[in-house]
Amino acid sequence: MSSQVLKMVWRRDVGLVARGLLLMTAVAAVTTGLLFAHQARALLAVHFTRIPVTAGDAASIWLHNLRSELGVAVFAVVDPVSSRLLDGDSRVWRRLLVGFGDVVMTCWAVGSSLIAGVLLGAYGMRKLAAFLPDGPVEVTAWALLLALYINARRGHDEWRQTVWGLVSVEVLLALAAILEAWGSGL
């Protein structure tokens, strides 16, 4: 594949993943807001109090996000590595391993989107303000990470592109952690 085609596929995949996650979040928010906002608030019991923040808090947020990214990175390399290491007789194991990664990734992405939507539906503008300014940066990082995973699974990316993509995700997540710690408008 030419680099122009890869760039087009890359942009399309990132956009498609981001739109899908945002649509899922919006549907969950509207559904929660219209049907069971009070019950969701009682169950979630979110407190919007501003607490003093330290550099350790920002580092803790970043390290939590790093663990999530590491899990995605591991699943992204399972398919190419397993296809080289496992012989033809082990194809069933390879499919099971890769399928497990797909299920975990899908559950993580859908679950995160639904939780964000329920929180927005239950708390409205107050929660939206709490998601700013770090939320859009973090959503962009996660959409990029999922697109990296999809492209790695399809065999579209070279390892250098995947590494630079993971570095980009890490920079975005570090920025999001800083914004979450010190930039929140609570």
pLDDT tens profile 83-126? 666 666 677 777 777 788 778 888 888 888 899 999 999 999 88
Distance between CA atoms of residues 154 and 148, nearest Å: 10
Answer yes or no: is pLDDT of 36 > 90: yes
Cβ contact 139:117 at 8 Å: no
Residues 116-166: pLDDT tens digits?
999 999 999 888 888 888 888 888 888 888 888 877 777 766 777 878 888
What single DSSP character describes residue 132?
A: T
* Cα torsion through 46, 114, 168, 156, rounded to 10: 170
Mean pLDDT score, 17-34: 90
The residue that leads in pLDDT, 152 or 19, is 19
CB atoms near residue 74 (< 10 Å): 11
Cβ contact 121:33 at 8 Å: yes
Residue 174's Cβ-side half-sphere holds a number of Cα atoms within 13 Å equal to: 6
Residue 183's Cβ-side half-sphere holds a number of Cα atoms within 13 Å equal to: 14
Q: Where are the alpha helices (DSSP H) in the chain?
A: 3-35, 37-44, 55-85, 91-123, 125-131, 134-154, 159-182
Residue 43 to residues 37, 40, 46, 147, 175, Cα–Cα distance (Å): 10, 5, 9, 33, 31
Residues 39-83: pLDDT tens digits?
999 998 888 777 667 888 888 888 888 887 787 777 777 666 666
Answer yes or no: is pLDDT of 9 > 60: no
Confidence category of residue 3, pLDDT binned at 50, 70, 90: low
